[in-house]
Amino acid sequence: MQQRRVCFISQRVYPGDARLETQIKALQEAGYRVDMICMRSGSQPLADTVEGTHIYRIPSLTRQRAGKLRYILEYASFWLPTLVLITLLQLLRRYDLVHVTNLPDALVFAAVVPKLLGAKIIFDVRECTPEMFIDRFGARPGGKAIWLMAAIEQAAIRFADATVTCTDQMRQALIGRGGSPGKISVMLNVGSGRLQALAPVLPDPAALASPFRIVTHGTIIKRYGHETLIRAMPLVIQRLPQVKLEIIGRGQAAPELKQLVAQLGVQDHVTFLGFLPEDELFSRLRTAHCGVVPILRNPEADLVHTYKMYEYIHLGLPVIISRTSAVEAYFDDSSLYFTEAGNPESLAHAIIDLALHPQKRYDLARRARETYDTSYAPHKQRAVYARLVIQVLDVPVGGAPLATRHENAQP
């Protein structure tokens, strides 16, 4: 049998995207040949081969998380070259499957020629666009902009042969707007593939930590709640005078947050480390005493999981996290320490509680890791995705809808 070929399309940088790495590895393990069309970052080569994946990079506008017009220009600068490139590649390579990730939802339509020539299409909804617009642009729920975003989203789902998304809450949001339940499955975002080589280091259940070291990492933007964490620090310092907080990453909110640190007088306790290479990042995370995910609650946050949550769990850190619908559906209070989103007092109480009770840190980290290993681990997500691809390719045009999959149901 001839080896099947798959092309991934994503307006993201690759390598460096954990979900794409998981999906590509799943297909390579199953014997597929994989190509990738993605964004170019900096001086990356336009064409490259990384771990068996042939990569075509498009030098489009970089994402700046700016206004609506900038978003449109960024998307168009990638969409148009991708339309041309995937058309040419389809004529040359005859892909059996094209996998397209959002944002934007309209990117899936760049695969129109492959679809007309017989390729199957998987649409990966990484973010629900209507909820994203409400959060980032203050769009009015039920307004014309949200109606338009929902219409494009649903058209993309109908265009694709199958849709995969990141949580059951995202799946239900897509279905609630008209998506066919039989076409939409779930594959969780469980963190970097390179992380999996690191064994967890669970907390010592008998050792008090001094100084108590808190970490949070990733993009520094308002919705990730760094301000709440910084405002909690004066309360924490009253009980834990030696406490240290490390904020790892970069983003547009960093200058404002540094000013807040100075205003609160907590410079000796809060450090901004900027971007760190992955090896150094994981090394610092492994030696911390807890990881904090202080995401602000809004319609988008109630649908998603963050990579950092899974990375802390994998490494054996106890996790303090804002209570949201999507996280509560997969983990309970015995595995994560939930706090009230946007509430510095609630977050400070959780930090102090874990610092003073090492057995509780151990119990939380152990239970979270057990749940992760049993139900959500990366090899399970690769299996979910591989089964979806097999099913998509084996359903003839006009055939029966895909079976709904619930491999990631709450344990």
Q: For residue 267, what are its two tokens?
A: 């410079």
pLDDT of 96? 97
pLDDT of 193? 67
User: Which is more confident, 408 or 399?
Assistant: 408
| pLDDT, tens digit (0-9, with 9 covering 90-100), for 202-247 | 999 988 888 999 999 999 999 999 999 999 999 999 999 999 999 9
How many Å apart are CA 330 and CA 324, to the nearest integer?
11
Of 194, 188, 195, the closest CA to residue 385 belongs to 188
pLDDT of 137? 78
Strand segments (E) across 51-187:
53-58, 97-101, 120-125, 162-165, 184-186
50: Cβ–Cβ under 8 A, 6 or more apart, which residues?
A: 14, 15
pLDDT of 395? 60
How many Å apart are CA 197 and CA 373, to the nearest integer?
14
Residue 335 has pLDDT above 90, yes or no: yes
Is-contact 364 316, C-beta < 8 A? no
Q: Report the mean per-residue pLDDT for the chain.
A: 92
Rounded mean pLDDT, 174-180: 97
Let me know the angle formed at the C-alpha of 358 by 356 and 362, rounded to the nearest 5 degrees.
145
Rounded mean pLDDT, 176-190: 96
pLDDT of 366? 98
AA identity, residue 238: Q
Residue 192 has pLDDT above 80, yes or no: no
Is-contact 308 279, C-beta < 8 A? no
Question: In 3-state terms, the chain is what percent helix, strand and coil (to 5)?
Answer: 45, 15, 35
**Residue intervals in the chain for CATH 3.40.50.2000:** 5-190+377-394, 194-375
Mark residue 339 as left, alpha or beta (left: phi above 0; alpha: psi -120 to 50; beta: remaining). beta
The CATH number of domain 5-190+377-394, selected from 3.40.50.2300, 3.40.190.10, 3.40.50.2000, 3.40.640.10: 3.40.50.2000
297 half-sphere exposure, CB direction, 13 A CA radius: 15
AA identity, residue 178: G
102: Cβ–Cβ under 8 A, 6 or more apart, which residues?
A: 108, 123, 124, 125, 126, 127, 129, 156
pLDDT band at 404, cuts 50/70/90?
very low
Is-contact 240 355, C-beta < 8 A? yes
Determine the length of the chain: 411
pLDDT band at 313, cuts 50/70/90?
very high
At how many degrees (to 10) do helices 307-315 and 358-371 cross? 110
Is-contact 12 101, C-beta < 8 A? yes
Locus of tokens 């003839």: 396
Residue 410 has pLDDT above 70, yes or no: no
The CATH number of domain 194-375, selected from 3.40.309.10, 3.40.50.850, 3.30.1360.120, 3.40.50.2000: 3.40.50.2000
366 half-sphere exposure, CB direction, 13 A CA radius: 9
Of 152, 201, 200, the closest CA to residue 179 belongs to 152
How many Å apart are CA 117 and CA 87, to the nearest integer?
10
313: Cβ–Cβ under 8 A, 6 or more apart, which residues?
A: 319, 365, 368, 369, 372
pLDDT band at 4, cuts 50/70/90?
very high
pLDDT of 407? 58
| pLDDT, tens digit (0-9, with 9 covering 90-100), for 99-157 | 999 999 999 999 999 999 999 999 999 999 999 888 877 778 888 989 999 999 999 99
How many Å apart are CA 353 and CA 236, to the nearest integer?
10
Of 129, 186, 165, 188, the closest CA to residue 307 belongs to 188
pLDDT of 355? 97
**In 41-54, which positions are buried (b, 16+ CB within 10 angstroms) versus exposed (e)?**
eeebeeeeeeeebe
AA identity, residue 67: G
| φ, ψ dihedrals at 168, nearest 5° | -70, -25
Residue 386 has pLDDT above 60, yes or no: yes
Rounded mean pLDDT, 37-45: 93
pTM of the model: 0.91
